[in-house]
Amino acid sequence: MYDIRLSKEFNKEFVRLQNKSEAGYKEEKYIVDLISRATAVLAQDKEAGSKIPRNLWPKEYIQKYNITNLWKYKLDNYWRLIYTISNNEISFFLVYIEFLDHTEYNRRFKYKGK
């Protein structure tokens, strides 16, 4: 079982989503459910996502999170979860960096026409 941690930015956005979900917003509830299901999978298998090639890593991620690996987990056909795998002397853990829709994912990773 792997520990899941949230980047500060991810946590802020996730709390906003949860609040809207609890207030009855359907899309936000759907996204919260997707992330919860992904967390259950990733807690068991840290490599359940797809590794993102280094040449596609946004410089912002490298600078802000000092990443040495980057992964995406396809939440559904439209939403993506971006995470990194880190460790300390005791264990491995995952850090959620961002969740984004497919259009923003393509923009962030400079995919064209996909």
| Predicted TM-score (pTM) of this structure | 0.91
pLDDT at residue 42 greater than cutoff 60: yes
pLDDT tens-digit series, residues 44-86: 999 999 999 999 999 999 999 999 999 999 999 999 999 999 9
**DSSP string across 28-88:** HHHHHHHHHHHHHHHHH-TTSSEEPPGGG--HHHHHHH--S--EEEE-SSSEEEEEEEEE-
Q: What is the mean pLDDT of the chain?
A: 93
The closest of 87, 76, 86 to 34, measured between CA atoms, is 76
Domain 3-108: CATH superfamily is: RelE-like (3.30.2310.20)
Question: Domain spans of the chain?
Answer: 3-108
Sort 16 into a burial class: Cβ within 10 Å, 0-12 / 13-18 / 19+. exposed
pLDDT tens-digit series, residues 76-103: 999 999 999 998 777 789 999 999 999 9
